């Protein structure tokens, strides 16, 4: 197992290129199951979750070949419809194959993903919606067994809660269904928007893209002709590096970024006193004279993303005053709090709300990553801590951050990847 050794108080300066979005790539890779042709996806990030999903497709008989940041996926050779536990347990987003496999083959088995560090994360809404579309669903021996021998049928689906992968799953199922599917209360995240846009260009008419009401005109089983496309920039990776610039009082420029997807994050940084210069695809952050405390409530897009909550908590430790951070999406997404406390942060928790008293001096320590974004908060804290921080269990970071050490090193951070126990 690897860990990161980070020397604190490094001063950052320079440019970081933002990679393609992991959370856009995952549904778009699953979408290739709906294609009749070979599909080329460009600007894929080199992260473990993408490799996991491609491995899952390969296990199902698809052919996937890499060419730098491009991947060519041929699902015409798929001859398996079972997503087994060994893969699904490593990545919950494997559930994204359920809708497309069922739509294409009329049956599918996917291991139940189970809970994870940040909460229960049920998939009841995915299953209820597929049942409404005519699927018969049974849970047997830890697997979801879904059948739709007559094909899926369009209908009206009202999501009780906004779900990102749930929306993506049902959009893909509806793409090959018979008739129209209307999804009410659909997720409006940019990653869902890109999925709709690619499908829309591939023969599936979708109305209301980017809104909470989507009308998907299914092809009644006709497979799609999907042209080459490029994955949108990763807004969470970008937000994390903006926080790296902010916490370390550095001037840092991000390139290949989509500022429009970062509205809520940029607004909070500005509220905290940071100046940002923004062009079409770059953002430069400048140091604040004094970091002001902030109030954050995580909500669905376009509000402040839960995936940026941990990083802003690290940043809030350096604000002059009391910051309040409320987590509304996941019940247990405060695992980073105890690790930040071990570095000297003054944070108290009350249910879903964290109160951060700043400004505190942080000191380097051995800390443990517990989930993807919590891990990045520990890296941010390490940048300004006195002394050295060892961030353990960084397989979480490897799931979602492309070339993290390389990118940090290029802007001046002293960081090394080492093997535990050596």
Q: Which residues are catalytic?
A: 116
Choice between 93 and 108, CB closer to ligand UD1: 93
Give the x-and-dash track for 343-362 against ligand UD1 (CB under 6 A).
--------------------
Given the rule CB under 6 A, which of 5-13, 162-170, 218-226, 402-410 is the region that contacts ligand UD1? Answer: 162-170
Cα–Cα separations (whole angstroms), residue 310 to 213, 248, 377? 30, 16, 5
CA distance 389 to 325: 25
Q: What's the closest the beta carbon of residue 123 comes to ligand UD1, in angstroms?
A: 5
Contact 156, 191 (CB under 8 A): no
- CA 356 distance to own-chain centroid: 25
Q: Beta strands 82-83 and 107-111: pairing type? A: parallel
Task: Name residues contacting ligand UD1, limited to 176-195 (CB under 6 A).
Answer: 191
Q: What's the closest the beta carbon of residue 77 comes to ligand UD1, in angstroms?
A: 26
Contact 144, 110 (CB under 8 A): yes
**Both tokens of residue 348?**
């108290």
Q: What's the closest the beta carbon of residue 103 comes to ligand UD1, in angstroms?
A: 18
Residues 6+ apart with CB under 8 A from 48: 395, 398, 399, 400
Other CB atoms within 10 Å distance of the CB of residue 156: 12
**Both tokens of residue 131?**
């049942």
CA distance 49 to 367: 23
Choice between 53 and 340, CB closer to ligand UD1: 53
For ligand UD1, which residue of 54, 164, 265, 347 counts as binding (CB under 6 A)?
164
222 part of the interface to ligand UD1, by CB under 6 A:
no
Choice between 26 and 193, CB closer to ligand UD1: 26
From first CA to last CA, the distance across the chain in angstroms is: 10
Q: What's the closest the beta carbon of residue 305 comes to ligand UD1, in angstroms?
A: 6
Task: Name residues contacting ligand UD1, limited to 292-331 (CB under 6 A).
Answer: 306-307, 329-330
Q: What's the closest the beta carbon of residue 153 comes to ligand UD1, in angstroms?
A: 21
Strand 251-255: give its sheet, edge to edge.
13-17, 251-255, 282-286, 275-278
Choice between 61 and 119, CB closer to ligand UD1: 119
For ligand UD1, which residue of 23, 111, 181, 375 counts as binding (CB under 6 A)?
23
- CA 208 distance to own-chain centroid: 23
Q: What's the closest the beta carbon of residue 26 comes to ligand UD1, in angstroms?
A: 5
CA distance 244 to 319: 14
For ligand UD1, which residue of 104, 126, 268, 392 counts as binding (CB under 6 A)?
126
Given the rule CB under 6 A, which of 7-15, 114-122, 216-224, 239-247 is the region that contacts ligand UD1? Answer: 114-122
Given the rule CB under 6 A, which of 75-83, 161-169, 174-182, 266-274 is the region that contacts ligand UD1? Answer: 161-169
For ligand UD1, which residue of 44, 125, 209, 246 counts as binding (CB under 6 A)?
125
CA distance 385 to 91: 32
**DSSP output for 146-168:** EE-TT--B--EEE-SS--HHHHH
Name the residues that contact ligand UD1, by CB under 6 A.
Answer: 23, 26, 93, 119, 121-126, 161, 163-166, 191, 306-307, 329-330
């Amino acid at each position: 197992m690897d860990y990161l050794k980070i020397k604190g108080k490094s001063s950052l300066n320079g440019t970081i290129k933002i990679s393609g979005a992991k959370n856009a790539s995952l549904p778009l890779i699953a979408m290739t199951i709906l294609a009749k042709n070979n599909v080329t996806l460009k600007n894929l990030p080199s992260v473990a979750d993408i490799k996991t999903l491609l491995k899952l497709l390969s296990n199902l008989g698809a052919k996937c070949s890499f060419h730098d940041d491009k991947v060519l996926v041929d699902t015409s050779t798929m001859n398996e419809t079972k997503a087994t536990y060994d893969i699904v347990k490593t990545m919950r987003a494997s559930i994204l194959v359920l809708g497309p496999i069922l739509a294409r083959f009329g049956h599918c088995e996917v291991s139940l993903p189970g809970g994870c560090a940040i909460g229960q994360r049920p998939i009841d809404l995915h299953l209820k919606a597929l049942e409404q579309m005519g699927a018969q669903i049974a849970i047997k021996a830890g697997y979801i067994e879904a059948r739709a021998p007559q094909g899926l049928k369009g209908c009206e689906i009202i999501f009780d809660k906004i779900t990102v992968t749930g929306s993506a799953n049902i959009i893909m199922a509806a793409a090959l269904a018979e008739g129209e599917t209307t999804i009410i209360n659909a997720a409006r995240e940019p990653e869902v928007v890109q999925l709709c846009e690619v499908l829309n260009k591939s023969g599936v008419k979708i109305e209301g893209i980017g809104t909470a009401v989507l009308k998907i005109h299914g092809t009644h089983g006709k497979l799609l002709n999907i042209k080459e496309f490029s994955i949108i920039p990763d807004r969470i990776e970008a937000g994390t590096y903006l926080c790296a610039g902010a916490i370390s009082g550095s001037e840092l420029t991000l390139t290949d970024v989509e500022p429009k997807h970062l509205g809520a994050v940029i607004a909070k940084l500005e509220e905290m006193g940071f100046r940002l210069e923004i062009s079409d695809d770059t953002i430069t952050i400048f140091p604040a004279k004094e970091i002001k405390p902030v109030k954050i409530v995580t909500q669905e897009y376009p509000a402040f993303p839960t995936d940026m909550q941990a990083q802003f908590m690290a940043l809030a430790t350096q604000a002059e005053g009391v910051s309040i951070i409320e987590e509304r999406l996941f019940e247990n997404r405060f695992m980073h709090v105890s690790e930040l406390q071990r570095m000297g942060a003054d944070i108290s928790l009350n249910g879903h709300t964290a109160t951060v008293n700043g400004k505190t001096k942080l000191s380097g320590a051995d800390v443990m990553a517990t989930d993807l974004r919590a891990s990045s908060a520990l890296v941010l804290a390490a940048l300004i801590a006195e002394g050295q921080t060892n961030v353990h269990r960084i397989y979480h970071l490897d799931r979602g951050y492309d070339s993290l050490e390389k990118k940090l090193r290029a802007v001046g951070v002293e960081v090394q990847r080492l093997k535990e126990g050596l």
